[in-house]
Amino acid sequence: MREIDVADLDDIARGAGILGTGGGGDPYLGRLLAEAAITRHGPVTLVAVDEVPADAVVVPVSMLGAPTVGTEKLPNGTETLAALRALEQARGISATHLVAIEIGGMNSLVPLALAAETGLPVVDGDAMGRAFPEAQMVLPTLAGIPASPMAVADDKGNTLTVNAVSNLWAERIARAACVATGCSVYTADTVMTGAQLPDGLVAGTLTLAARLGAAVRTARADHANPITAVTDLAGGVHLITGKVTDVHRTTTGGFGRGGATIVGTDAELRLSFQNEYLLATRHDEVLATTPDLICVLETDTGEPVTTEALRYGNRVTVLGLPCDPRWTTPAGLELVGPRYFGYDCDYRGLPR
């Protein structure tokens, strides 16, 4: 157990941006929300998975929508609490803990902002070990834990409670509401007991994000290579260093979809994304695919580059980081593998 204060947020945001594989929302915006809440209400208590009582009521909260919209359609600050209260009312429960649904960008910091406001502790972990674009793409789905009831709240004061027959249908209904209200909403869903957390979470990911962010910061201060600092800590592999020569993106169906080309000294890499970077190819050779993490960093600074921030001329390095092994099981690949997203290839491990 430890406290998270304003001074910790920069490292967490930077590290979560790396682990978020380009998605999860803008980490800068998430940091601002958490900073404002902690400044107003005080530090947040972070607890390890094994410190949570078996009968605890743990609620993930997050932003759902297209990151390209989220950077322009700013929250008013009431949405997450509204979603939590709607979920508590629908289920007849009172949350005892909050947790991140994904360790990605803004969504790693949304629970910290709400925790400061409510006084609830945050569990050190998340339900993906990275970020994925759809709500059913969580380890609780593999463990048979339902997303419903799912509470959805927007910036206009609307709330919706979704009672769906499956986690996939919860995603579809919530996504339709998201599109109707402007492609950015906040949700509370997938309630877990403390006893379910080992199956439903990747433990320790907020701490890992903080360590990654600190490693990049320290490397820059020491005039060392921040990219090496990331790979040394996270066990990643280098895919390319080069310049972004082409980017195309559209916002459709509540997602930011597109691709980019990165040209290096003697190679060219093609990235495909749907909120998150999902596929990396070189001359039709698949180098990395979801569910492994494909991370784009500024070459000079080690700062993460999200899919909505990627621009022509960016000098970037692309890394591949290994995912939680539960995602590479047959059930995991059926849920989040490349073929689910329409890519004509099978999952393969990262190059060595």
- 302-329 pLDDT, tens digit per residue, is 999 999 999 999 999 999 999 999 999 9
Q: Does some domain include residue 217?
A: no
Residues 190 and 258 in one domain: no
Confidence label for 296 from pLDDT (cuts 50, 70 and 90)? very high
pLDDT in tens, 72-106: 778 889 999 999 999 999 999 999 999 999 998 89
Overall number of domains in the chain: 2
Say if residues 74 and 154 touch (Cβ distance below 8 Å). Answer: no
pLDDT in tens, 17-30: 999 999 988 899 99
Copy the structure tokens of residue 30. Answer: 């998430």
Of 137, 171, 341, 172, the closest CA to residue 258 belongs to: 341
Helix axes 205-221, 226-234, angle to 10 degrees: 150
Residues 198 and 238 in one domain: no
Residues 196 and 230 in one domain: no
- Phi and psi dihedrals of 145, rounded to 5? -95, 125
pLDDT in tens, 272-287: 999 999 999 998 899 9
Q: Does some domain include residue 189?
A: yes
Strand partners, 304: 297
Q: Does some domain include residue 216?
A: no
Boundaries of domain holding 8: 2-203
Among 141, 170, 203, give the residue marking a domain's end: 203
Burial class (CB in 10 A: 0-12, 13-18, 19+), 260: buried
Give me the CATH number covering residue 335: 2.40.390.10
Among 203, 235, 251, give the residue marking a domain's end: 203
Say if residues 218 and 81 touch (Cβ distance below 8 Å). Answer: no
Q: Does some domain include residue 45?
A: yes
